[in-house]
Amino acid sequence: MGSINEAMVYFETYGLWFLFIIVYLEYLNLPGLPAGIIMPAIGALVAHSKYNFLFVLIISVAAGILGSICLYYVGYFVGNPVLHWIYSKFPKTRKSVDKVTMYCERFGNKGIFICRLVPVARTLVSLTAGTLRDGVINFTLYSLPGIAIWNAATIMIGYLASKAIITL
């Protein structure tokens, strides 16, 4: 996607399916889909669309949970080989992965919630929690509020900034 205008065309054409898929892919931690850009852009799109902020937030949280659970299961069933592949392919991520793993081991479910509020850690926590074989129910219950807070804050930033720019 080259610009906000191009994203707006996709959003207008495909609506909430576009939103769901983009957020789902972002929570799968795919390179090229940074939340710091995607979520505020979604907020700007919502500010100028027929969609309600709360409804878009709910869709984004559902997509985030689904993406997180999928990545959790990658960690659960494949685990350490995936982490070793990440370490070899992206050596700079080792420190972040190790820090997320430490938080999950040290703080348990609270560590999952905390990591959901920290850039980089927020998507890595799914993989590490799965690798550590934390229970999927607790993982989901502690991920949900963190995902909701993160998505609400970042979407709201784009929404308010877009509204402010229009009123200038």
For residue 130, the model assigns a pLDDT of 92
- Sign of the dihedral defined by the CA atoms of residues 100, 104, 110, 116, in that order: positive
Overall number of domains in the chain: 1
Per-residue pLDDT of the chain (168 residues; tens, 9 = 90+): 455 566 667 777 787 888 898 889 889 887 666 777 778 888 888 888 888 899 999 999 999 999 999 999 999 999 888 888 888 888 888 888 888 888 888 888 999 999 999 888 888 899 999 998 889 999 999 999 999 999 999 999 999 998 787 665
Q: Which H or E run includes 111?
A: helix 109-115
Q: What is the DSSP letter of 16?
A: H
Residue 144, domain extent? 4-167
pLDDT at residue 32, as a whole number: 64
Question: In terms of Cα–Cα distance, which of 72, 76, 122 is closest to 99?
Answer: 122
What CA–CA distance (Å, rounded) separates 95 from 11? 36
pTM for the structure as a whole: 0.86
Predicted confidence at residue 152, as pLDDT, reads 96
